[in-house]
Structure 1
Amino acid sequence: MDTVQNRVSTGLKVTGAVDDASNFAISQGIRTEIRSWQAVQQSLNNSIGTVNVAIAGAESISDIVADAKKKVIEYHNATGAQQQILLNDYNALLDQIDQMANQASFNDTNLINTNGTPIPDPPDAGASHFVTSSGAPTRTHALPDFEGIVNVSYNYAGAGSTISLIYGGSTMDSVTHGFNGGGVNGSLSFNYSAEDGNDFTINTSGLGNVFYEFTYTPSANDTGEAFSALVDTKGNTTEIYSKSMLAEDIGLRPVDLSSVQSSVAQIETAETIIGQTLGYFGSKAKQLIATRNQAEGLIDSYKEGLGNIVDANMSREAARLTSMQVQTQLSTQTLSIANQRPESLLGLF
């Protein structure tokens, strides 16, 4: 009865190593795994909150930029004192952008206003490299997780060859040279989007020899700081890089009032940067949400498996407890009757 009562009160059929040593050891390991994934789940919730706040801040800045565009157009259509009033309004909007970027902080982390260090160059940028179709026709180079421009400067010599830059499975830029024994200098470049992959390949076809080096220029609002989001119990993380949304970093300061075309072009450049930033943070948010859902699924599966090992069948144990209580009462009554029999017999004499 003590065993059954313990199962009913705890809901467990295995409460310690004495009950079932092997299953208890297995269950302890599963409990540890559940707690680990719960910690990952909490980290992912914090990361999602950080990215969502950055998205909200960037969306607000996008709305302010739309108002700023209206102000500069009005400025160029106004004269005298009206222009000064509109210029003051425009500068006030830029101050609002900076204020919004400053306030977009979650748990002391701000992804759209940081004093980030410059983005480090890729590991083999600036070094001399060599490709030749007769021996090593391709060479692949890693790129950082930032948008920017890759520029390849080369010196070509030999028989006819086509030199190509391959990125994301597509040819981004290429040039064909005929025979040139003395060598010819040239350059190739392409815009780099971090969402397509983190490396590019230079390829040569033909019989020429190509000596080259490459440089990488990141987008203006990218920084070298990153927020690491824990994604599993092995310590693996995904990096979420900050992208400054300050008015200066998105190209709105200093203001270009030389012509209405220049002013509008300046604001449209800022709108492009904001759109790219929203796309970047949006994709990261989707990635984190998918990872969190996966963690929740794993936790539920672990809990179900743990229950199969250690949980008691409550309806069965409750029925057993009731049965044992009835048996106890009947046993007590039986013993009481049996104890009364000798006295009854003695009463006959």
Structure 2
Amino acid sequence: MANSINTNRGALVALQTLNNTNKALETTQNRVNTGLKVSSAKDNGAIFAIATSQRAEMGAQDAVKQSLQRGQSIVDVALAAGETVVDALTEMKSLAVAIQDATADSDTETKLMADFDAIAKEVHSALAGATFDGVNLFKATAAGAPIEVSTNTSGGKFSLKAAGGAASATALAFGGTADADAGTWTAAAAAADKRTAYTAANVETALNAFTTTLADFGTKSKSLDRQLTFVGKMQDSLETGVGNLVDADLAKESARLTALQTKQQLGVQALSIANSSSSMLLGLFR
């Protein structure tokens, strides 16, 4: 091979090798720094697009979880108030039996009815106060306006109360007048009307209807728990899946980094040797 001072083939080859090593070293250093083998679309456009889409899905699942937790809180508040109402109705049943045993228009009957009235007012006040974030499951819902929460990112809904659902307070009027929105209750004026309404059978009917409502809320609370568990598992699976696609194997990259750094140093030396070959030609002219 002819020696030339215009073209140093050895230096060109050494430079190309060194450039390739530097490029590989830059890639490896970026993976070590970020912990990602695909940190931008430049690394792998298809994988980057998939990972970005799944990260967006994970963010949307956070919104679903918040919606389910809100629904759970609405139901839990209703159940807490419901327990208070059940206790009150149990006491009202005992009072109803005593009222029927008392002599009509007697002082005893008047006092028992006053106790019954006081507890009935507490019941309606508790029902009206069972509100979370402006939602009360014991109040009537407007037609076409159900109380719902999101269950997935595709628009799935879970109904807490159907549109046009009646107020639970309606079954607890006991001959009086109830205002579910205001949480007020007004007893019948005449003692005879009260005696007709304040019976153990009427209280039992109201108690059965109300506990049926509570049972429905309890079932919905369990359903929301299961939905929350599912969303949590879904998020974990998505996070693991994205990691499988874009996370770097740091142990492998660390070993590769050391090898490339050594290769880089050898490349610099090889380039230096190749560049010095031209100066050796000067000896021929001495």
TM-score strictly above 0.5: yes
- Return the match for 1:18 from 42, 49, 53: 42
**Residue number in structure 2 paired with 1:289:** 225
CA distance, structure 2, for counterparts of residue 81 and residue 314 of structure 1: 86
Structure 2 gap segments, 5+ residues each: 1-24, 177-186, 188-192, 274-286
Say which one has the larger Rg: 2
**Residue number in structure 2 paired with 1:250:** 172
Counting only pairs closer than 5 Å after superposition, residues 327-338 of structure 1 correspond to structure 2 as: 327=262
**How many residues are matched?**
227
1:304 matched to 2:240: yes
Higher normalized strand content (fraction of residues): 1
**Residue number in structure 1 paired with 2:117:** 91
1:52 matched to 2:76: yes
CA distance, structure 2, for counterparts of residue 72 and residue 230 of structure 1: 44
- What are the superposed Cα offsets for residues 286-318 of structure 1, whole Å, 9 maximum, x if unpaired? 222222222222222211111110011123234
- How far apart are residue 86 of structure 1 and its match? 2.2
Secondary structure, aligned partner of 2:172 = coil
CA distance, structure 2, for counterparts of residue 6 and residue 93 of structure 1: 71
Higher normalized helix content (fraction of residues): 2
Secondary structure, aligned partner of 1:228 = strand
1:239 matched to 2:159: yes
- How far apart are residue 334 of structure 1 and its match? 7.7
Question: Could you say if the C-alpha distance between residues 17 and 329 of structure 1 is closer, same or farther in structure 2, counting changes exceeding 3 Å?
Answer: closer
**Residue number in structure 2 paired with 1:122:** none
Q: Percent identity?
A: 30
Secondary structure, aligned partner of 1:15 = coil
Q: For the aligned residues, what is the CA RMSD?
A: 3.0
- Kept in 1: contact 2:175–2:194 (CA 8 A): no
- Kept in 2: contact 1:58–1:245 (CA 8 A): no
Structure 1 gap segments, 5+ residues each: 120-223, 339-349
CA distance, structure 1, for counterparts of residue 85 and residue 166 of structure 2: 13
**Residue number in structure 2 paired with 1:104:** 130
- How far apart are residue 65 of structure 1 and its match? 0.7
- Kept in 1: contact 2:68–2:224 (CA 8 A): yes
Letter in 1 for 2:155: G
CA distance, structure 1, for counterparts of residue 269 and residue 33 of structure 2: 29
CA distance, structure 2, for counterparts of residue 98 and residue 9 of structure 1: 63
Question: Could you say if the C-alpha distance between residues 323 and 67 of structure 1 is closer, same or farther in structure 2, counting changes exceeding 3 Å?
Answer: farther
**Residue number in structure 2 paired with 1:37:** 61
- Kept in 2: contact 1:58–1:112 (CA 8 A): no
- What are the superposed Cα offsets for residues 114-151 of structure 1, whole Å, 9 maximum, x if unpaired? 4x34x6xxxxxxxxxxxxxxxxxxxxxxxxxxxxxxxx
Counting only pairs closer than 5 Å after superposition, residues 184-223 of structure 1 correspond to structure 2 as: none
- Kept in 2: contact 1:51–1:281 (CA 8 A): yes
- Kept in 1: contact 2:64–2:153 (CA 8 A): yes
Question: Could you say if the C-alpha distance between residues 329 and 29 of structure 1 is closer, same or farther in structure 2, counting changes exceeding 3 Å?
Answer: closer
Letter in 2 for 1:84: T
Question: Could you say if the C-alpha distance between residues 225 and 276 of structure 1 is closer, same or farther in structure 2, counting changes exceeding 3 Å?
Answer: farther
Letter in 2 for 1:234: S
- Kept in 1: contact 2:28–2:257 (CA 8 A): yes
TM-score, with length taken from structure 1: 0.57
